[in-house]
């Protein structure tokens, strides 16, 4: 395995790093404090292709491998994990539209999503269906050339401020085989948005509930075929888990960078903090864990790009490891800053708050352990994944 980045990957990394330092870093604290959804910055990201990194080229995307996309997301998240996390959700929705919509629908909506002209939300979670996504209750019934949606979604990122909703709804029997996926215009009659949730972190993106009351959706905007929605959702979640894991790696890198700068600047007992072995050991552990998390994420992304049979297993492993280690690294970086880490003048408390939810969404880390254990136990004679 070649661990070195290619020339193209280095170019994407450098472009993303420069963009993040120019467009995200100077404003991230204000976006967080004031709850601003940075539409202008997101549109600028679209101009560089960051709104359609792995969307199909035929419909305006860059068509990059998930590995390359993870390199871009990591650099962006080092400046603002919250805004980057929304950008990853938009990328997932855009990929679903360009990959599964009918050709004429993908041609109409795909380029506008991939360019950032339109922004998307992904609607899977419901008030009564979180980890058990297959039990969702939102229904879509066919009436002539339309489907009619009724139900509710919860914790939807970007809701109320985006243009497109990718909605999972039940068209058939109970369980995963009865779920279908739809592209829905966000301003369709019958859609209502709940209050903006007050959250611990991720404050640069609004989170709201959505209710659907007799919302008419053109039948042509079905993604894939009836009954394929859950499979589409699961394919999206494999990449989504890599994306969120990458956001944790980026947040951890940003926190570690801040800690390294701080120990050189701060003096105690007549010496810089960098001279104290206890802190040197802490920094060494943080750096080691960060590299381990990054390589696990990139391995999982490579497995997904290769279409490997065990890609879902590796995506779950990467999500579990990177989000747990990422939060821990942010916490240690805050500890190194002492009291200064706890105030908003420094970015540590923001990194910590933004990284915490990564252990919950795209499948909680407890669910990741279930996925990993079931795979191993179902094939107990197989070698340990390596």
Quickly list DSSP for 253-296. HHHHHHHHHHHHH-EETTEEGGG-HHHHHHHHHHHHHHHHHHHH
SS3 of the chain: helix, strand, coil, percent, to 5: 55, 15, 30
Helix (H) or strand (E) holding 123: strand 120-123
Q: For the chain, how many residues are written? A: 386
Interhelix angle 229-265/311-337, rounded to 10 degrees, is 30
Phi first, then psi, for residue 192 (nearest 5°) are: -130, 140
Determine contact, residues 151/212, Cβ cutoff 8 Å. yes
Buried-exposed string 180-203: b where 16+ CB fall within 10 A, e elsewhere: bbbbbbbeeeebeebeeeebebbb
CA dihedral 57, 294, 303, 92 (to 10 degrees): -40
Tokens of 215: 């919302």
Report the C-alpha gap between 90 and 84 in whole angstroms.
10
Report the C-alpha gap between 54 and 57 in whole angstroms.
8
Report the C-alpha gap between 321 and 297 in whole angstroms.
9
DSSP-based three-state secondary structure for 157: strand
Active site residues: 362
Report the C-alpha gap between 8 and 234 in whole angstroms.
29
Contacts of 358 (CB under 8 A, 6+ apart): 85, 244, 245, 247, 248, 251, 323, 326, 327
Determine contact, residues 234/315, Cβ cutoff 8 Å. no
Tokens of 177: 């085989």
Place of tokens 């139900």: 151
């Amino acid at each position: 395995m070649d661990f070195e980045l290619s020339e193209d990957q280095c170019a994407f990394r450098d472009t993303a790093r420069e963009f993040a330092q120019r467009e995200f870093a100077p404003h991230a604290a204000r976006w967080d404090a004031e709850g601003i959804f940075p539409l202008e910055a997101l549109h600028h990201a679209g101009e560089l292709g960051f709104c359609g990194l792995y969307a199909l080229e035929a419909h305006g995307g860059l068509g990059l491998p998930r590995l390359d996309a993870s390199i871009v997301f990591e650099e962006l998240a080092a400046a603002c994990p919250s805004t980057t996390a929304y950008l990853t959700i938009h990328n997932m929705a855009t990929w679903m539209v360009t990959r599964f919509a009918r050709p004429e629908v993908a041609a109409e909506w795909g380029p506008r999503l991939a360019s950032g002209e339109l922004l998307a939300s992904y609607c899977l979670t419901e008030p009564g269906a979180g980890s058990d996504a297959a039990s969702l209750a939102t229904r879509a019934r066919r009436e002539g050339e339309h489907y009619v949606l009724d139900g509710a979604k919860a914790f939807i990122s970007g809701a109320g401020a985006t243009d497109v909703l990718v909605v999972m709804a039940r068209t058939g029997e109970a369980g995963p085989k009865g779920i279908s996926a739809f592209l829905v215009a966000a301003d369709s009659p019958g859609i209502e948005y709940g209050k903006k949730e007050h959250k611990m972190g991720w404050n640069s993106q609004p989170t709201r509930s959505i209710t659907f009351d007799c919302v008419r959706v053109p039948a042509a905007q079905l993604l894939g075929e009836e009954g394929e929605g859950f499979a589409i959702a699961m394919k999206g979640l494999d990449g989504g888990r890599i994306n969120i894991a990458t956001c944790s790696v980026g947040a951890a890198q940003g926190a570690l960078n801040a800690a390294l700068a701080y120990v050189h600047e701060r003096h105690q007992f007549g010496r810089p903090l960098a001279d104290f072995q206890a802190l040197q050991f802490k920094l060494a552990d943080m750096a080691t864990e960060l590299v381990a998390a990054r390589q696990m994420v990139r391995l999982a992304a490579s497995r997904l790009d290769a279409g490997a049979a065990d890609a879902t297993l590796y995506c779950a492993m990467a999500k579990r490891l990177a989000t747990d280690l990422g939060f821990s690294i942010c916490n240690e970086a805050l500890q190194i800053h002492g009291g200064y880490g706890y105030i908003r003048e420094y970015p540590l408390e923001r990194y910590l708050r933004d990284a915490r939810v990564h252990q919950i969404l795209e499948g909680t880390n407890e669910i990741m352990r279930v996925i990993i254990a079931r795979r191993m136990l179902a094939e107990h004679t197989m070698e340990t994944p390596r």
